[in-house]
Amino acid sequence: MKIQLLGTGTPTPSLKRMSSGYLVTVGDDTILFDHGTGAHHRYLETGQKLTDVTHLFLTHLHYDHCI
């Protein structure tokens, strides 16, 4: 299992701190938790394709957690 923090920051737009988001890789599964705008930006920096994501979990429906 590999866990990457895509953002641990604030919903306020910032170039330094991204909104919450987590990328978990377990075997062949790529799992995203709380994929807001900041987390999306950081995900793209990992070099992985969005089509590689097999599961998506949204913990709640605030804009900074689901886009």
Q: Which of 28, 29, 34, 64 is catalytic?
A: 64
Tokens representing 34? 């709380």
Tokens representing 27? 């075997």
The CA–CA distances, whole Å, from 10 to 25, 28, 44, 50 equal 24, 31, 19, 23
Active site annotation includes 64: yes
Q: Which residues are catalytic?
A: 64
